[in-house]
Amino acid sequence: MRVFVPATTTMLRALIDDGEFSPISRTAFAVTPTLREAYSSGDDDELADVALREAARASLRLLGGEGEVDETDGGADADADVDVDVDAAAAAAAAAGSAPRRVVIAADVDPVTLRPDLDDAVVRLPQPLSLRQVASVHVDLAEAEPAVRAAVEAIDAADLGDVDAEFVLGDAEDHELAWYAPQEIPFLLDLM
């Protein structure tokens, strides 16, 4: 089954260095029977795109957990209105030397455990992900970094129903992830 594993550039480096990595809770996204039922129309490619977008959103959460956003702004208050200055976020990224980019690893894994109790597209991997299983990697381009940084700051508020925060996420999700073959990953990481 083709799965889409949310990751970060740090996790991608671990995959290349170690030949494998264990995703958080071994969670991934895929075209599951429950996902098919949730959509009245859509072919396999369209449903795979839904699963990929879910993994990309999960990557935002991972970026926040890794602290790849600048912590010098005093931290984000989850109860505060989201008012993120994208230009200031870009300047903070440059100062911090980090490059927040969503990363999704597409891999072929069998068997997986379906987890419809978590979400329609969620699956659990049986073991750590091996580099041999990777079919492709999808990563934000550099121009997406300011929007991704802002989305990392806003994702918790969006989860709590803040409409403005949802728009901030939408700005990041408007950026398409670039596709890379497995053999291109080391070069990609060198260029980042």
pLDDT one-digit tens code per residue, 27-69: 999 999 999 999 878 788 999 999 999 999 999 999 998 764 4
d(CA 100, CA 68): 6
Beta partners for residue 108, in sequence order: 2
Dihedrals phi, psi of 174, to nearest 5 degrees: -70, -20
d(CA 41, CA 109): 25
First and final C-alpha spacing in the chain = 30
pLDDT one-digit tens code per residue, 133-161: 999 999 999 999 999 999 999 999 998 99
The whole model's pTM is what?
0.82
pLDDT one-digit tens code per residue, 102-136: 999 999 999 999 998 899 999 999 999 999 999 99
